[in-house]
Structure 1
Amino acid sequence: MVRVLSYLKPYWHLVTAALALVFFQSMADLYLPTLMADIVDTGIVNGDINYIMSVGIKMLLVALGGALSAVLASFFSSHAAMGLGKALREEIFKRVERFSLSEFDTFGAASLITRTTNDVTQIQMVTMMSLRMVAMAPIMGIGGIIMAISRAPSISWIFLVVIPVIALVIVTISRISVPLFRSIQKKIDTINRVLRENLTGVRVIRAFNRINYEKKRFDDANEDLTDTAIRVNRLMAGLMPITMLIFNMTTVVIIWFGSRRIDAGIIQVGDLMAFIQYAMQIMFSVTMVSMIFVMYPRASASAERINEVLDTMPGIMDPVKPQIPEEVRGGVEFKDVTFRYPGAEEAVLSNITFKAEPGKTTAIVGGTGAGKTTLLNLIMRFYDVEKGSILIDGVDIREIPQDVLRSNIGYVPQRSTLFTGTIAENIRYGKDDATDDEVRHAASIAQALDFIEEMDDKFDTIISEGGTNVSGGQKQRLCIARAIVRRPKIYIFDDSFSALDFKTDARLRQALRKETNDATVIMVAQKVGTIMDADQIVVLDEGKVVGIGTHKELYRSCDVYRDIVLSQLSEEEVVL
């Protein structure tokens, strides 16, 4: 929790102002019972109206000063707490942006979203309450005890009995609630994950008529969270009645013993009234502490979850002494590369060796699970190799800063991803400063210009969340245009033509050939027709290279490649 609160440093002036105002508010509240006692013991007993009026005006001014301090303290503490939340969200987002895919797999998207939103909100709330209550409680408690003793020392022993009892109740309930609050945050993760999967997979769910199953799945997660929340809230709900019962019993005891002291002439009526007020203030300070104890366990659990993210160092880091090539040609070489996913028993890729040269197209083919997409992910350093090395122009990619490496790569993912915004903005995602002509040219090469021109707003057409207002083939072409506008030295296409018809596929590949004549093109494709004219085809089988060559060479010499070709084409259709 201390580490999380360290992000309050930029707002120290607001924190200082809030604490100072809380101090003034507390002093005003502590002074009011004394003024009231003076009115009763001096003004009312002696019938001195002028004294009553003068002290009454003083009470009014003190009360107004306390109220103004309370309002300003609330404003400053809220501002500081919101600033803390903003700083934490920024820090979490920055750290998550640096994570490799391994760290994403470890936490999960749903958990990272919860930690950035719900957990930060818990920290904000407890910070805002703490800046007022934690500061006010000791002042009111200690000050109240001092003032109460000064007014009626003969009955002050009551506090020695009451305060330990209240403290015991608070500590007991707090110790029971901490594990429950941690459990609640994890169950919120589960609900977020189920909801996220349901929303992103709505088409599959409906297509397979699994709506009732998903409802039950969500209901189970929701009921689990609800049951835990009810348990902890039931526990916390008992805190206030117990505290109030102790307060009321304390008041009865004070009046009982106080009235006897008044009869004996030891104290005056005004002193007893002031003592009761100070007792209430002391009890109120204990109540404030109890409220913090209610909120602190959950905030503490949230702080631990946030710290887990902030303490996790990215598995892939830039080199201490980076090598920045003066000019990237784009030659890619795999040298005896082996890779396995974290926690996996077997390697996904084993002893991969081949070269992809500038000005040539290298195709990667293989059966499902052969490791084709994993191989592409290694080029972009989404993961680091376990053994061997990947070189670009003879330099190990681990020696190149990640931003420099990826700025020279145009990537079209297997699953087309578009962002909310206009078509032009989505294409410019590949190059921020691309001109309108460059955007249009990239769309033309990607065979996207025709359907864009048919839209009412053309390049200003808004793409909805997830690109749901365009077809699969249109999304794929926009993603290709996004890579082309960058004019990179290395193009990576991960099965990026699967949603295109043969005619569009052929036109796009012909246009791409002219556009990428001096770049390295590496593509994964399921359709043999897409890669038959590649300069080099690398055949993968169970994570190993079983053949490298042209279409004709592999068809004659590689059984795996021949089986792939014949599974899609008849022997008469095979072009040799």
Structure 2
Amino acid sequence: MKDLKCLFEYLGPYRRDMLMAALLIIVETVFELVIPVFMADLIDVGVTNGDISYIVHKGVQMGICAGLALVTGLLYARFAARAAYGWGARVREAEFERVQRYAFSNLDRFESSSLVTRMTTDVTVLQNAANGGLRPLVRSPIMLAMGLGLSFWMNPRLALVFVVCAPALAVILFLVVRKVAPMYGRLQKAMDGLNNVVQEGLTAIRAVKAFVRGEYEEDKFQSVNEELRSTSQRTFHLAALNQPAFQLVMYTSIVLIFWFGGQMILRGELLVGELTGFLSYVLQVMNSMMLISNVFLLLTRSLASAHRIVEVLEEEPALDSPPDPVTEVADGSVDFEEVSFKYHAGAREYALSGVNLHIGSGQTVGILGGTGSAKTTLVQLIPRLYDVTEGSVKVGGVDVRDYDLTTLRDAVSIVLQKNVLFSGTVGENLRWGDPSAGEGELWSACRAACADEFLTRMPKGLDTDLGQGGVNVSGGQKQRLCIARALLKKPKILIFDDSTSAVDTATEAKIRSALEGLTGVTKLIIAQRVTSVMHADLIVILEDGRIHAAGTHDQLLASDPIYQEIYTSQMKGGEDHGGPAAQREKA
């Protein structure tokens, strides 16, 4: 209940609609409860005495009550739908906003498929519970209380049947809810698994087709789909037992009431109209109890979904701006001072250990190293995508933890190892770097990144639709567009994380020449080719998370065996291609 209480805070302006819907339910219930009283009088007075005017009078009263109940019911449906779906929209918005604030370490705790389920299916469960459960939640207790009260008022002896049946219904509800409650959590996890397989299959559909793994993916999908089916079947099979059990008790009660009521009529202790009216209250009371049980099941499922949603909302972002942040980056200098880092506090080994490195503003620095040497980890600490475990990283002479996050990241432009483009046109993607950039600025950035070479051949140029994830362009074209987007940001620090691996050496040389023209911008280039970094002011070689060597091309070529091996293998073919040393990842 604590989770639901937390989520109710997001009702906001829809709180009034929810209260209005509850009020309309109460009014509707009162109108419906009055009808059996009129019906009893109609039979016992009007029909018995043959008084047509009295029958018409009571009939009109019943018709008015039924009409008013219908109107209030329709108004309830309008207010309830607006409240439920408005509430759901605000909860989804809050979840999405919180995820946008997450650091990489927060995102490591949630699978993307699980986040999708929590923003869609789990919120839908809450919406359905609010829209479908508000009516019985408010109506049923009122119907139950007033129905029992009027039943005892009409005939206390006959109403004792409820005293026998109510405990049986309560026991059934308790057993069903106790068994079903934990199963709803497993059901949502099974939904996570299905979404994960669907997401992977659609994202990697080209790889699946290229490797002819369609049948394998179908089997994998069938497995998680079957898991979801079986979990759903077990859960709802038990939940469905609630209704027949209640109907059994309800019809047993009706038979007993007819039995005892018939005997009382024969003895002259009860009128037929009174029994008819009493039976109406019996049905209302029983239906109310059944609806209450259904509300409990809805509530049980919504509690599982609410807990999953609250987990997202209460996850505190691992990184945030300090109370009095620095709001201006002086220059592009970068200093690593005794930096050590591990991704998880409980990890036994550090990804980076004892890194000391000074990069002057405006310098070009190349970073080489084998797979797993923590090249990407190193540069991710600069825009504070992760926080160091030990030591400090300084940008412009200030610890990155002292900056306003937006200010720091606006000063650092990074072209990720995995190129990411979004649905939309080329121009829309490029304007991620500068939303106010004009067409001339866009083409200037494209020329610097050599993206103009293929854009000029496209009929729509900057208005070309890239499709989902940039599927309409090749890997090399995607890299060049990402570089153009980074250049539009006009940063103080520009980071290329193996961002020219998919372009030919001639194009790479053109891009490198364009970058040399950027004055006052610190450039860090992670590369797999010596030619990408050999003209840099400083080349850093990482090995096992430590700086193995640092220097210019000439210095490293003269003194460092690893750099010599890389250079020889790439530039001259090398005589020891298959030797142990060459088995290191060629940077």
- What is the TM-score with the length of structure 2 in the denominator? 0.95
* Contact persistence 1:359–1:519 (CA under 8 A): yes
1:99-498 map, 5 Å = 99-325=102-328, 327-342=329-344, 343-498=346-501
1:541 aligns with 2:543: yes
1:559 aligns with 2:561: yes
Distance 2:209 2:438 in 1: 42
What are the superposed Cα offsets for residues 410-459 of structure 1, whole Å, 9 maximum, x if unpaired? 11111111001110010001111111211111111111112112111111
What are the superposed Cα offsets for residues 215-248 of structure 1, whole Å, 9 maximum, x if unpaired? 2222121111211111111112221111112111
Distance 1:440 1:116 in 2: 38
What are the superposed Cα offsets for residues 367-403 of structure 1, whole Å, 9 maximum, x if unpaired? 1111001111111211110111110111000010111
Structure 1 residue 154 displacement after superposition: 2.1
Structure 1 residue 571 displacement after superposition: 7.3
* Contact persistence 2:133–2:298 (CA under 8 A): no
Runs of 4+ in structure 1 over 6 Å off: none
* Contact persistence 2:361–2:520 (CA under 8 A): yes
Structure 1 residue 273 displacement after superposition: 0.4
Q: What code does the residue aligned with 1:420 have?
A: S
Aligned length: 571
Q: What code does the residue aligned with 1:401 have?
A: D
Distance 2:218 2:568 in 1: 44
Q: Is the partner of 1:568 in helix, strand or coil?
A: helix
Partner of 2:571: 569
Distance 2:91 2:487 in 1: 37
What are the superposed Cα offsets for residues 504-554 of structure 1, whole Å, 9 maximum, x if unpaired? 11111111211x221111110101111111111111011110111111111
Structure 1 residue 178 displacement after superposition: 0.8
Partner of 1:54: 57
Structure 1 residue 211 displacement after superposition: 2.5
Distance 1:480 1:96 in 2: 26
- What is the TM-score with the length of structure 1 in the denominator? 0.97
Distance 1:178 1:572 in 2: 66
Report percent identity of matched pairs.
39
Structure 1 residue 572 displacement after superposition: 9.6
1:66 aligns with 2:69: yes
Q: What code does the residue aligned with 1:100 have?
A: A
Structure 1 residue 484 displacement after superposition: 0.6
Distance 1:118 1:242 in 2: 29
Distance 1:238 1:138 in 2: 22
* Contact persistence 2:332–2:362 (CA under 8 A): no
Bigger shift: 504-513 or 269-278? 504-513
* Contact persistence 2:421–2:478 (CA under 8 A): yes
1:531 aligns with 2:533: yes
What are the superposed Cα offsets for residues 178-204 of structure 1, whole Å, 9 maximum, x if unpaired? 111111111111111122222222233
Unpaired stretches in structure 2, ≥5 consecutive residues: 576-587
* Contact persistence 1:541–1:560 (CA under 8 A): no
* Contact persistence 1:111–1:189 (CA under 8 A): yes
Distance 2:241 2:44 in 1: 39
| CA RMSD of superposed structures (Å) | 1.4
Q: What code does the residue aligned with 1:513 have?
A: E
Q: Is the partner of 2:549 in helix, strand or coil?
A: strand
Specify whether residues 571 and 154 from structure 1 end up closer, same or farther in structure 2 by C-alpha distance, changes over 3 A only.
closer
Q: What code does the residue aligned with 1:331 have?
A: S
Structure 1 residue 55 displacement after superposition: 1.1
Q: Is the partner of 1:424 in helix, strand or coil?
A: helix
Unpaired stretches in structure 1, ≥5 consecutive residues: none
Distance 1:567 1:349 in 2: 27
* Contact persistence 1:356–1:522 (CA under 8 A): no
Distance 1:402 1:560 in 2: 37
Distance 1:558 1:402 in 2: 38
Distance 1:274 1:564 in 2: 95
* Contact persistence 2:194–2:221 (CA under 8 A): yes
Structure 1 residue 473 displacement after superposition: 0.8
